[in-house]
Each structure stands twice: as C-alpha cells, then as structure tokens.
Amino acid sequence: MAIVASAPGKVLMTGGYLILERPNPGLVLSTNARFYAIIKPLHHQIQSHTWAWAWTDVKLTSPQLSRESMYKLALKNLTIQPASSSEARNPFVEYAVQYSVAAAYATFDDNKKDLLQKLLLQGLDITILGCNDFYSYRNEIERRGFPLTPESLAIIPPFSPITFNTDDANGGDSKPEVAKTGLGSSAAMTTAVVAALLHYLDVVKLSSSKDQQERKDIADLDMVHKIAQTAHCIAQGKVGSGFDVSSAVYGSHRYVRFSPEVISSTQIAANVLPLPEVITDILNGNWDHDRTEFSLPPLMSLLLGEPGTGGSSTPSMVGAVKKWQKSDPEKSLDTWIRLSEANSALEVQLNLLRKLAKEQWDAYKSVIEGCSILRSDKWIEQASEPNKGAVIQALLGAKDAMLGIRYHMRLMGEAAGVPIEPESQTQLLDATMNLEGVLLAGVPGAGGFDAVFAVTLGDSSSNVTKIWSSFNVLALLVKEDPFGVSLESADPRTNEITSAVSSIHIE
C-alpha cells in the first residue's frame, strides 16, 4: 500500500539573520502550501536479480519536472548511485533516502531488520509533488494575458509543470534552477520524503492533521526532524539556521536554532565515515533547537506577494551581513541588539493578542472587525471600553514594533551593502501598512526581492490584493496553516479529483 506524507512551506516573519545565532529566536509561520511524498514498493515481489541481496532499486518520479530517475541503493553501506549516468539527480531526495534507511537499521532489532531488508528488496517507488504556491506562475499568467491577481492563479490546475529559470533577464547566474516563490520547497520536499519513508519503514507512526487537536506524535516528529535537517544540510552544502525544516516538521512556531556541532560527524562522513556509523551520532546527538508554540492570533490572515523582480540569493546576502559584522563590530552589534528588541516587542504583542482573544473573545472580535475597515490612525476610536482599549493598544504596539523591525533591517542592509528592504519594497510596504485593516507588512526571511508579506485583520485582505496588483505585485493564494508534517490518506491528485466530483451539485 502507498504511504503519503506531506510537509508545509514557511514564511519567516521575524528573526532573519539574527536567527542564525543561538539563542536569537525567529517566528516562523507554516502555510497551506504543502509538499507531498508518495512511497510504495516498486516490485510486487523481492527481485531475484538483486544479487546476494546487496542492493535495491529506487525510482524517483517528479511529474512537475517531467523527471523519472532510477537509482541503486546498496544495502550494506547505504550508498546510492544513479542507475546510469544520464539520470537526473536530486540530492535532497537522495540524502533523505540514505539517512532514513540508515535510521531504520540503527533503531531496529534483528527481527525487524530482517523485515526491513525484505521490504527494501521490493524496491522503493517515490513520487514527489509540490503545491503550485511553491512556484512562480507569474510568467504563465502574463503569457496568457490574465490580470495579475490571485483569481488568475486559481485557474492554474493543481501540481502544474514548473517553469525552469532559463532566461538571463536578471543576470542569470544567481537564479535558482526553478522559478520559486521562496516558501522553502527543498525543506518541505526533504521533510515529506523523510516522513513518508520513516512511516513506510515503520520507524515512526505519523498522525494525520484531520484527526487531532493536539499532536501526540512528538517523539516521532523529533525523529523526522533529525533526519530531514541532516539530509537537507548535506544536500544544500551549507548549514543555515534550519527554521525551514523545523517548520516543515512542527508547523508554525517560535524557533531557536540547533547547535551546528550536532551534525558535524556528517561533514566528515561525506568523505570518510560510513553512513551506518554516522547515523548513531545523529540520532543520539544533542538536538538543542527550541520550538515554542506560536501562531497568528485569531481573525488575522497572512498574505504573501510576489514582486516578480527575480528573487535574491540568500547565501550571498548572509555573506554580506557576516562580512559587515566583522568589519564594524561595534555598530553592527548595536543594530543587531535593536533589531532583536523590535523582534521581541512584536512577539510580546502578538502573544498578548492571542491571550486577549482567549480571555475576552467578544471585545477582541469586535475590535478586530471594527479595525479591519479602518486605517490604523483611526483604530483608537474603537476603544469605547477598557477591554477593547487593551486589544487596540496591543494592535498598535505590534504595528510599531514592525516599523522598528523594518527600520533596523533597512539599516542593516544599507550598512552591509545588500538590499534587505530594497527601495521599491519600502514604497510598497509603506503603502500597504497605510491601508485599512493592515496590521503588519514586511519582507520575510532574508528580505531582498523575493517576496513581501502582510498580516491583515478580519476580511480586509482584498484591499491589499488590489493595491499590490497596482504595484505589479502578485498576491499568492497561500494562507497560514499551523499544522506541520502529516500523514495523508491518499495521493493528493486523487483528492483533487474526489473533491472536484463531490463539489458538483446534483439537483
């Protein structure tokens, strides 16, 4: 039977750059854009040609890239090799397979190892699918002559083919392989494959998002996290803060990074140590990342916009900021501290709003609805009673904190010589923050030309969508969804068909 798992894409709302250093936190929101991995046996029976049971076949299909690759996985040392030199490579999935299988061998007793061996000898058939929201369809919309609106995006069929970045319009060299929106497709892809494989091999028992309020599979999620984070770092060839993998696993949260030493044995491993030895270090390592529950307060929506300027290279922006920290330690530390203070101020206000929503729902709801049709300079007029006043103070506090974050992010960019909040985004974000019902607007993650985000109150997001269109910014269909990695009941392509069929109304 096929096992299907999914993992969400992310938006880093606060903590860009600072989150690279412990113990600075970042607020990361997971989204309803999900990556799916489908795993089933490749053969009905154990293949006789898997001589001496030394290796097994792995087939990887990526329909959106029209790619199908065959690999050989050696069952002793778990090396993976393309079956022929012409196969397309996907290092994220390759490491995900190697490390997941290694984790299974490392955790099983002899009896379970035998069963594992038999299951593996049937081969692995892996299909990966990413929601459209991970990829840019801006060119496609323009090519079809549609308006630059979310309604146009909604017409594009689910799991559509992905545009490759082949043109040199933006200098070419720093552009990623595929046209993406910055939601963390590689982290979600790696996490979905690891989760599906670990579940398929019986290392973890994942639960599905539908059947729970509170997750009970935390230890299993930790296992998925260790393996996905390790595979992702090696495939990327760099150790970032890991907030993207963490949110793909745990969903929206407040993240403090893991100490990079925990995966140091893998860096030697790629050259010297065999994987079955390294995996024990990974599994027993001191994974000290911190994740505290966090999600947007009720009646607030996350909105993302694609400015379409071609994206920025995160590693080179990070490099420039690090260089600046070295060259001007005093000033950079000052900016760093002020930015960190603004980040915590926003966190405090958002947590306060969540608390007020719980404790005084009626006042909270009435203020949010009232403010959703007013610009923020008019919000104070809603403070007719103390309960409402507290909500308004927290809203204004959050907005102020966001202005502080943007100011210090801009300073950091200017000092480091990289456009963290480029001038074109500044105008757009100022205009956005002045609209009715807009609480926050900023550049997520590393900033640059990748994307912009806004947090809106009540039903006010259509205002934002309109103004973004006039700035030539495409509002995406993505929403916050705080749920992390999940077991799915079926191939998402069949779900789409089922829901389309059930939505047909028979009179």
Ligand X SMILES: C[C@@](O)(CCOP(=O)(O)OP(=O)(O)O)CC(=O)O
Chosen from ligand ADP, ligand X, none, partner binding at 128 (C-beta under 5 to 8 Å by type): ligand ADP
- For residue 23, whether the previous peptide bond is cis, meaning omega lies within 30 degrees of 0, is yes
455: nearest Cα among 273, 292, 300? 300
x-or-dash pattern for ligand ADP, window 73-92, by CB under 6 A? -----------------x--
Q: Which residue is associated with the tokens 């083919």?
A: 161
User: Is there binding between residue 194 and ligand ADP (CB under 6 A)?
Assistant: no
> Using alpha carbons only, what angle is made at residue 311 by residues 474 and 156, rounded to the nearest 5 degrees?
40
Contacts of 433 (CB under 8 A, 6+ apart): 376, 399, 402, 403, 440, 441
Residue of the chain from 9, 123, 310, 445 that contacts ligand X (CB under 6 A): 445
Interior angle at CA 305, CA 4 and CA 471, nearest 5:
155
172 counts as binding ligand ADP under rule CB under 6 A: no
**Toward ligand ADP, which CB reaches closer, 65 or 403?**
65
DSSP H stretches of helix in 201-296: 218-236, 243-250, 264-269, 275-284
- From 24-32, 61-69, 340-348, 391-399, span contacting ligand ADP (CB under 6 A): 61-69
Binding track over 195-234 against ligand X, x by CB under 6 A: ----------------------------------------
Does position 64 interact with ligand ADP (CB under 6 A)? The reply is: yes
Q: What is the dihedral of CA 164, 170, 173, 175, to 10 degrees?
A: -40
- The residue among 11 and 116 lying less far from ligand ADP, judged by its C-beta, is 11
Q: Which long-range contacts (CB under 8 A, 24 or more apart) does 465-470 make?
A: 465/149, 465/150, 465/303, 467/431, 467/432, 467/435, 468/305, 468/428, 468/432, 469/147, 469/148, 469/149
**Quick one: 56 or 185, whose CB is closer to ligand ADP?**
185
Residue 25, phi then psi, degrees to nearest 5: -90, 165
Amino acid letter at 452? V
CB neighbour burial string for 182-205, b if at least 16 within 10 angstroms, e if fewer: bbbbbbbbbbbbbbbbbbbbebbe
Token pair recorded at residue 97: 């397979």
Q: Of 127-135, 138-146, 342-350, 415-423, which segment contacts ligand ADP by CB under 6 A?
A: 127-135
Q: Note whether 189 binds ligand ADP by CB under 6 A.
A: yes
Q: Name the binder of 303 from ligand X, ligand ADP, none, CB < 5-8 A by kind.
A: none
Nearer to ligand X, 55 or 243 (CB): 243
**Beta carbons within 8 Å of 23's beta carbon, 6+ residues apart:** 256, 290
Give the residue, chosen from 176, 237, 329, 417, that forms a contact with ligand ADP under the rule CB under 6 A.
176
Q: Does 263 bind ligand X (CB under 6 A)?
A: no
For residues 225 and 253, give the distance between their C-alpha atoms in angstroms, rounded to a whole number. 14
Token look-up 């490390």 returns 99
Task: Report what 430 binds from ligand X, ligand ADP, none; CB cut-off 5-8 Å by kind.
Answer: none
Size of the site for ligand X (CB under 6 A): 17
Which member of 8, 25, 150, 240 binds ligand X (CB under 6 A)? Answer: 240
User: How many Å apart are CA 161 and CA 157, to the nearest integer?
Assistant: 9
Give the one entry of ligand X, ligand ADP, none that residue 12 binds, where binding means its C-beta sits below a cut-off of 5 to 8 angstroms depending on kind: ligand X
**Residue of this chain nearest to ligand X (CB atom):** 445
Q: What residue has token string 């089933």?
A: 40
Cβ proximity to ligand X, 150 vs 445, nearer residue: 445
From candidates 34, 138, 175, 180, binder to ligand ADP by CB under 6 A: 180
Of 395 and 412, CB closest to ligand X = 412
Contacts of 302 (CB under 8 A, 6+ apart): 11, 29, 31, 296, 453, 454, 455, 478, 479, 480
Q: Which CB, 179 or 435, lies closer to ligand X?
A: 179
Secondary structure E strands in 42-141: 55-62, 67-74, 80-82, 124-130
The one of ligand X, ligand ADP, none whose footprint includes residue 19, by CB under 5 to 8 A per kind, is ligand X
- Establish if 185 lies at the interface with ligand ADP (CB under 6 A): yes
Interacting span for ligand X (CB under 6 A) from 221-229, 269-277, 294-302, 441-449 = 441-449
Distances (CA, A) of 414 to 55, 292, 320, 328, 386: 54, 32, 11, 13, 42
Residue 159 or 287 having the CB closest to ligand ADP: 159
Determine the Cα–Cα distance for residues 139 and 164; give it in Å rounded to an integer.
11
185 binds, among ligand X, ligand ADP, none (CB under 5 to 8 A by kind): ligand ADP
Give whichever of 196 and 443 is closer to ligand X, judged by the CB atom. 443
Is residue 65 part of the contact set for ligand ADP (CB under 6 A)? yes
The runs of H, that is alpha helices, within 299-422 are 314-327, 329-359, 361-371, 386-416
Contact call for residue 92 and ligand X (CB under 6 A): no
Is 314 near ligand X (CB under 6 A)? yes
Token pair belonging to 276: 């079955």
Compose the 6-25 pattern: x for residues touching ligand X by CB under 6 A, - for all others.
------x---xx-xx-----
Among ligand X, ligand ADP, none, partner that 206 touches (CB below 5 to 8 angstroms by kind): none
Where do contacts with ligand ADP occur on this chain (CB under 6 A)? Answer: 62, 64-65, 90, 128, 130, 134, 176-178, 180, 182-187, 189
Where do contacts with ligand X occur on this chain (CB under 6 A)? Answer: 12, 16-17, 19-20, 182, 184, 240-241, 243-244, 314, 318, 444-446, 450
